[in-house]
Amino acid sequence: MTLQRGFVLEAFMAAWLLLLAGRLYHLQIIQYVDLVARGERQQQRTIEIAPTRGTIYDREMQPLAMSLAVDSVFADPSEFPKPEMVADLIGPVLGIEKSDLLAKFKAFKSFCWVKRKVSSEESARLRDLNLKGIYFQKEMKRFYPKGDLAAPVIGYVGLDDNGLGGLEYRFNDSIKGTPGRALIATDARRQSFESSTQEGQRGKNLVLTLDQNIQFIAEKAIAEAAAKWHMAGGTVIVQQPNTGEILAMASYPTFDPNNFGQSTGESRKNRAVSQVYEPGSTFKLVTVAAALEEEITSPKEVIDCQRGSIVLAGHVIHDDHPHGSLTVSQVMAQSSGVGVIKLGLRLGEDRFYRYVKAFGFGDETGIELPAEERGLLRPPSRWSGISLGEMSTGQEVGVTPLQIISACSAIANGGVLMKPRVVREIFEGDRHQPIIAVPGRRVVSARTSELMKEILTEAVEAGTGSTAKLNGFTAAGKTGTAQKIDSSGSYSKTHYIPSFVGFAPVSKPAVTILVVIDSPVGAIYGREVAAPVFRSIAEQTLGYLNVPQDNPSKYLQVASSSPAGSPRQQRGDRVDFQPFRPEPPVAATSPVQPVSFSKPVTSDAGGTLMLDDGPMVVMPDFTGMALRQVAQQCQELGLDLSMRGSGLAFEQSPPPRSQVPAGSKVWVIFGR
């Protein structure tokens, strides 16, 4: 009996050992991979680290968008002795409600993001608390060193470092790069630590056609117009007519991409490509160019403008100002709608429509920017009896500012429509990938281009564009004033879009500039509102680009002498500063003593002196200041700033502590 019990016990033990061995084999061999993976998932967490986005530069390799390493805060709630206490301590530091923090701590037992991409001040204060279960991880945060400069063009990124607007969105796949990963492990005591990090791959860089100095000039001018006319919005584009490259593209209102969450959708809108409006008289250059190309008129042909009234299909169309007989050149100079309508009628619907399409209207330009509109252009089969007349003068057609300036550049460069560009190249390390310019498409002959230059020059010299005359340069262009369509679908009696488009110098155009103002208060005409903005931008831009004057004035402005090594060249009526370059300097002009004032002056607040003939300003010392600091001081003192270069100020005219009348022009050179 005892022996039998021993056999039973041994059999039981053998069976138990066999089952145990089988179970161990199943766990260690069959389920090994799965169990190890499950264990790692319980003890480790992989965090995706956003890569360093590529830098966006202007054409002079000045950074407009870059990425900086900042702290992100995460927590392991299982380590908190008292979650309520932790929430009480870190909530005020990070600006997060206690209830929101406690909800996170409850929902995520071992890992949760507390706040990503915190400021350096928040990080320092949180580190000083030295709380158990609170950890830091470096992430990249997008930074825009120029603030709101060119913001609608450059765009902005979200918390996950994905582009949400502008070029940041359009080139997100190229700029973003490949994410990295950090492995956060937990030991047997539930203590978290970073065990390993896999670096991501940096994104590619963009080089733009924009010039930050010309962009600043354009934005300053449109902002000043907004302050004067209380307008709803505005656009400025500066383009090189021979290449299609955009040197500046400004929209008003604008926003700071460093704090895009505080902006509105309207301020983030790039009006240059997304605003569709009836252009009014700036569109007349298409009609007249088409008529000249078809040789159905000439600049000297006399047209009866019928005292500013014409009847089409039973509808009477009036000019703002009645005219009798005018040459074609005078028709454009005086902006006679009746005269242009007669040229449109000669062309006929099909020919006119063909030229409108050839100039790029009704289609996207293909610029490297998102949200570009194609405009509104109906085919002749859908026109009414007055459509040809209306469209000849820029009504019943919707355009974008970019389409208008591209058409004007075609007139300026000899008759070739160029594809507008805002990106020059994409590069990664030493591997450069220039964006190949698309060859232009001829729309009118060189002869027609030259005739149009003469006509548009007369429009500035003796026509509605006279307020666009430049100091030292010839200019050609056309004003425009269009009624807006109100909510009822009718033309508004109070809201207008004045504009001006032109180029300079006329013989060798260096820039084409478009100014569009939306709903100004107190004036409605392009000659009052837009043309003076064109003049301000053109004079500063041509001086900055060092373009030789072709129409110098007989009056010489006074400027101080240059220190050795800062190139400057005097031409005609002004002193133009050369761009700051690391090259041998051009010889400076002869020293000219600063203007002195014999009348006694008395000090006024804010650096202003009162003189019998008006307020005087004591010039600050701008040395070592950044451009925006200089611009702010000049604005506060009522001085007209013109500048050259980038970096910090190192030369100015008039010199520091000199006394000048309020409103005087100030030249400042910046360098690195």
Three-state SS for 374-410 is CCECCCHHHCCCCHHHHHHCCCCCEECHHHHHHHHHH
pLDDT of residue 147: 92
- Determine the pLDDT at residue 614: 57
- Which of 170-184, 324-338, 648-662 is the most confident on average? 324-338
pLDDT of 12 strictly over 90: no
Q: What is the distance, to the nearest Å, from the Cα of residue 166 to the centroid of all Cα atoms in its chain? A: 8
C-alpha to C-alpha distance for 421 and 437, rounded to whole angstroms:
8
> What fold does the segment set 46-208 form as a domain?
Penicillin-binding protein 2a (Domain 2) (3.90.1310)
Whether 581 has a pLDDT exceeding 50, the answer reads no
Is residue 349 within 8 Å of 383, Cβ to Cβ?
yes
What token pair was written down for 500?
């001006």
pLDDT for residue 18 is more than 90: no
pLDDT above 50 for 597? no
CA distance 2 to 319: 128
pLDDT (0 to 100) of residue 196: 64
CA 361 – CA 374 distance, rounded (Å):
7
Residue 113 has phi, psi (to 5 degrees) of: -75, 130
CB 292 within 8 A of CB 317: no
What's the whole-number mean pLDDT along residues 290-303?
A: 97
When mean pLDDT is compared across 159-173, 357-371, 471-485, 601-615, the lowest value belongs to: 601-615
**How many whole angstroms separate alpha carbon 487 and alpha carbon 73?**
49
- CATH superfamily, domain at 212-544: DD-peptidase/beta-lactamase superfamily (3.40.710.10)
Which residue matches tokens 């063009």? 153
Pull the structure tokens for residue 496. Answer: 């207008």
- Averaged pLDDT, 428-452: 87
| pLDDT given for residue 187 in this prediction | 57
Answer whether 530's CB lies under 8 Å from 500's CB: yes
| Better pLDDT: 193 or 532 | 532
- Strands 423-428 vs 205-208: parallel, antiparallel or unpaired: antiparallel
> Which whole-number Å values give the CA distances from 182 to 109, 148, 513, 543, 647, in the listed order?
19, 34, 50, 52, 38
Most confident of 37-41, 95-99, 479-483, 510-514: 510-514
Task: Determine how β-strand 640-645 pairs with β-strand 665-671.
Answer: parallel
Residue range 430-457: average pLDDT? 90
Chain center to CA of 510: 21
Sheet holding 44-49, edge to edge: 44-49, 180-186, 192-198
Those residues whose C-beta lies under 8 Å from the C-beta of residue 450, and which sit 6 or more positions away, are none
Q: Contact, 660 vs 619, CB < 8 A? A: yes
Q: State the Cα–Cα distance between residues 308 and 660, nearest whole angstrom.
A: 48
Coil, strand or helix at 554: coil
Average pLDDT over residues 411-437: 88
> Which range (366-375, 496-505, 617-626) has the least confidence?
617-626
Instruction: Write down the pLDDT at residue 467.
Output: 96
Determine how many CB atoms are found less than 10 A away from the CB of residue 663: 12
C-beta separation of 215 from 149 below 8 A? yes
Contact between 611 and 598 (Cβ < 8 Å): no
Q: What is the pLDDT of residue 611?
A: 38
Distance CA 241, CA 406 (A): 8
pLDDT band at 184 (very low <50, low <70, confident <90, very high): low
Please list, in sequence order, all residues whose beta carbon lies within 8 angstroms of the beta carbon of residue 188, skipping any fewer than 6 positions away: none
Owner of token pair 């100039």: 359
Both tokens assigned to 142: 């997008």
Lowest mean pLDDT among 138-152, 182-196, 320-334, 593-607: 593-607
Q: Cβ distance 323 to 308 under 8 Å?
A: yes
The residue-averaged pLDDT of 395-403 equals: 97
Cα separation, 247 vs 210, in Å, equals: 4
Residue 637 to residues 218, 439, 609, 630, Cα–Cα distance (Å): 20, 48, 11, 11
**CA-to-CA dists, residue 328 to 324, 337, 510, 525, angstroms:** 12, 11, 26, 22
In degrees, rounded to 5, the angle at the alpha carbon of residue 404 between the alpha carbons of residues 398 and 405 is 160
pLDDT tens figures, 413-425: 999 999 999 999 9
Alpha-carbon span 456 to 290, nearest angstrom: 15
For residues 194-207, average pLDDT: 79
pTM of the model: 0.75
* Tokens (6 digits) for 87: 């929430």
The predicted structure's pLDDT at residue 195: 59
Alpha-carbon span 507 to 305, nearest angstrom: 30
Residue 66 to residue 110: CA distance in whole angstroms: 33
> In the CATH hierarchy, which fold is given to the domain comprising 568-671?
Trypsin Inhibitor V; Chain A (3.30.10)
